[in-house]
């Protein structure tokens, strides 16, 4: 399930460049308002598969009628739009309950009001390869041994890396397993068409992702997992949301 939230602006202020961190806080504020016990479980544990932990939701970055970049952040013109998705009905129902309880919210010093919430239809792609556009950057990484110390370190992969699609596939398969979807073998290719790199700081950690246009080739069941729960990693921090173009 995917929803699109439309906001009006009650008090206009500059949003800091790190505003995706504020969206994480807003998401959990609403989930806790809907069901505090479920919200705590989601925040603290999520779900685990293959030694990896997943939250099984993702969200877009903000879109506005106009966005003006300034030295210290972004100035948005209403209306603002925010998309959130998850394959878990309980999560989305809890989120919606929280939204209706608390429609007036703050992102930093920016005061917003929820004006509309729409449930978006699931895409029914009729083209292969499937054209996609990111609504938040896709993050893919792997671990490799440091030559000097021998310790494992995280390496962010670009879409040009030959391992990029494999890591995407393995990630989707683990999420699918959590959702009761079993595929013994699957080939997945997420190929760049026109992308750019974005280096983002989230809670003090630098994260490199890629945004723009991709094509997807692979099973539709895995595409739906990626569409609803996010492609790549750090989906719960607002990475990996796509739309079909």
Tokens matching residue 166 = 């494999």
Nearest to residue 200, comparing CAs of 137, 108, 243, 132? Answer: 137
Q: Is CATH 3.30.70.1890 the right assignment for the domain spanning 2-120? A: yes
pTM of the predicted model, to two decimals? 0.94
Q: Which CATH architecture has domain 130-244?
A: 2-Layer Sandwich (3.30)
Rg of the Cα trace of the chain?
18
Instruction: Provide φ and ψ at 192, rounded to 5°.
Output: -75, 140
Query: For 112-149, how does the pLDDT look when each residue is reduced to its tens digit (9 = 90+)?
Result: 999 999 999 999 877 779 999 999 999 999 988 777 77
Query: For 63-97, how does the pLDDT look when each residue is reduced to its tens digit (9 = 90+)?
Result: 999 999 999 999 999 999 999 999 999 999 999 99
- What residue ranges do the domains of the chain occupy? 2-120, 130-244
């Amino acid at each position: 399930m995917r929803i699109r939230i439309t906001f009006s602006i009650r008090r206009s202020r500059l949003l800091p460049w790190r505003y995706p961190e504020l969206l994480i806080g807003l998401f959990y504020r609403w989930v806790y308002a809907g069901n505090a016990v479920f919200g705590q479980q989601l925040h603290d544990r999520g779900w685990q598969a293959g030694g990896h932990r997943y939250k099984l939701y993702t969200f877009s970055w903000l879109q506005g009628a106009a966005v003006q970049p300034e030295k210290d952040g972004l100035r948005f013109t209403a209306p603002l739009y925010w998309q959130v998705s998850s394959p878990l009905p309980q999560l989305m129902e809890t989120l919606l309950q929280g939204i209706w309880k608390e429609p007036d919210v703050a992102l930093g010093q920016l005061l917003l009001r929820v004006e509309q919430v729409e449930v978006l239809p699931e895409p029914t792609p009729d083209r292969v390869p499937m054209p996609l556009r990111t609504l938040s950057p896709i993050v893919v990484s792997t671990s490799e041994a440091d030559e000097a110390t021998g310790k494992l370190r995280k390496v962010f992969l670009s879409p040009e890396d030959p391992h990029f699609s494999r890591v995407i596939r393995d990630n989707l398969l683990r999420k699918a397993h959590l959702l009761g979807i079993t595929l013994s073998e699957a080939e997945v290719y997420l190929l760049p068409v026109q992308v750019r790199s974005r280096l983002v700081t989230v809670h003090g950690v630098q994260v490199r992702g890629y945004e723009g246009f991709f094509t997807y080739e692979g099973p539709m069941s895995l595409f739906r997992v990626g569409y609803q729960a996010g492609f790549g990693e750090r989906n719960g921090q607002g990475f990996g949301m796509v739309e079909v173009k």
